[in-house]
């Protein structure tokens, strides 16, 4: 088990390698369901229970609701093409390497960061650090945060978490619900293109400052 001192040292080390001239690229995965799980469109308020429509009062929820696992990468220059994983299991290393890294991350870096000094900060999922993935990144000169240097439990410094929330709000705005996974997939891809790029850029550029603040004052200082 990692100690708090070890985690703080990782955060400081990450801050040091993320120099001002380095352009950061982050990736992550998130589940989306047909009707959404965010609080802003899952509540119904009333002062008289007798007036609540039956479809609201007695709405059922499947034990294993259909869902999609969505992957994306972001940087200060844009958002990669979205990969929608139509499976109930997590993304395995072969899928991650082929569909996320080879088909999406590499074209994204070539298009937006051809001559930039980049640093890829992947999520800590085991598939992201498989031998095949690391070898591919090295072969294509994509510098990435080593697993032992990747600080856990600092989602506050990873703006992609906030970007997911923004995308989720757009997908399910006005209590929208998908009739099937195909419709949900199309909407996720559409809404991802509508994200405010200026806001995304601002959040990515603020990562270095956030890391230093977390190191000095703790994770709750950036909440």
Tell me: the pLDDT tens digits for 56-107? 554 455 556 789 999 999 999 999 999 999 876 788 999 999 999 999 999 9
Does the pLDDT at position 26 exceed 70? yes
Per-residue pLDDT, 216 = 72
Q: In this predicted model, what pLDDT tens digit does every residue of 179-213 receive, in sequence order?
A: 999 999 999 999 999 999 999 999 999 988 877 77
Rg, the chain, Cα only: 19
In sequence order, the 6+-apart residues with CB closer than 8 A to the CB of 129 are 122, 147
End-to-end alpha-carbon separation of the chain, Å? Answer: 25
CATH code (residue 97)? 3.30.420.10
Burial 140-156 (b: 16+ CB within 10 A, else e): eebebbeeeebbeebeb
| Cα 28–Cα 90–Cα 110 angle in degrees, nearest 5 | 40
- CA-based nearest residue to 105, from 71, 76, 139: 71
What is the distance between the alpha carbons of residues 167 and 101, in angstroms, rounded to a whole number? 21
Q: Which residue has the higher pLDDT, 213 or 39?
A: 213
The token pair that represents 139 in the structure block: 């072969």
Q: Alpha helix locations (H) across the chain? A: 4-17, 54-57, 93-95, 106-112, 131-139, 160-171, 181-193, 197-205, 207-217
CB 124 within 8 Å of CB 7 = no
Answering whether pTM is above 0.85, one says no
Distance of CA 154 to the CA centre of its chain: 13
Per-residue pLDDT, 56 = 54
- What's the domain count of the chain? 1
What is the distance between the alpha carbons of residues 71 and 69, in angstroms, rounded to a whole number? 7
Q: Which range of residues forms the domain containing residue 123?
A: 4-222
Percentage of the chain modeled with pLDDT above 90:
57
What is the distance between the alpha carbons of residues 37 and 193, in angstroms, rounded to a whole number? 21
The owner of tokens 């909407």 is 187
Most confident among 30-34, 87-91, 148-152, 213-217 (mean pLDDT):
30-34
Per-residue pLDDT, 42 = 46
């Amino acid at each position: 088990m990692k100690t708090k001192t070890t985690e703080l040292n990782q955060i400081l080390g990450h801050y040091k390698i993320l120099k001002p001239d380095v352009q950061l690229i982050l990736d992550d995965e998130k589940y989306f369901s047909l009707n959404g799980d965010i609080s802003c469109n899952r509540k119904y308020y009333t002062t008289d229970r007798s007036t609540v429509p039956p479809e609201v009062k007695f709405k059922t929820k499947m034990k294993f609701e259909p869902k999609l696992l969505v992957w994306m990468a972001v940087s200060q220059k844009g958002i990669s093409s979205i990969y929608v994983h139509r499976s109930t299991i997590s993304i395995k290393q072969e899928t991650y390497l082929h569909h996320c890294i080879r088909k999406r991350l590499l074209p994204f870096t070539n298009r937006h960061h051809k001559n930039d000094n980049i640093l890829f900060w992947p999520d800590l999922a085991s598939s992201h650090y498989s031998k095949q993935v690391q070898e591919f990144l090295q072969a294509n000169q994509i510098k990435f945060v080593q697993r032992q240097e990747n600080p856990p439990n600092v989602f506050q410094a990873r703006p992609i978490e906030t970007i997911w929330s923004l995308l989720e709000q757009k997908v399910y705005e006005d209590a929208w619900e998908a009739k099937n996974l195909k419709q949900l997939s199309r909407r996720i891809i559409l809404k991802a293109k509508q994200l405010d790029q200026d806001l995304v850029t601002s959040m990515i550029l603020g990562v270095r400052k956030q890391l230093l603040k977390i190191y000095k004052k703790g994770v709750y200082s950036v909440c």
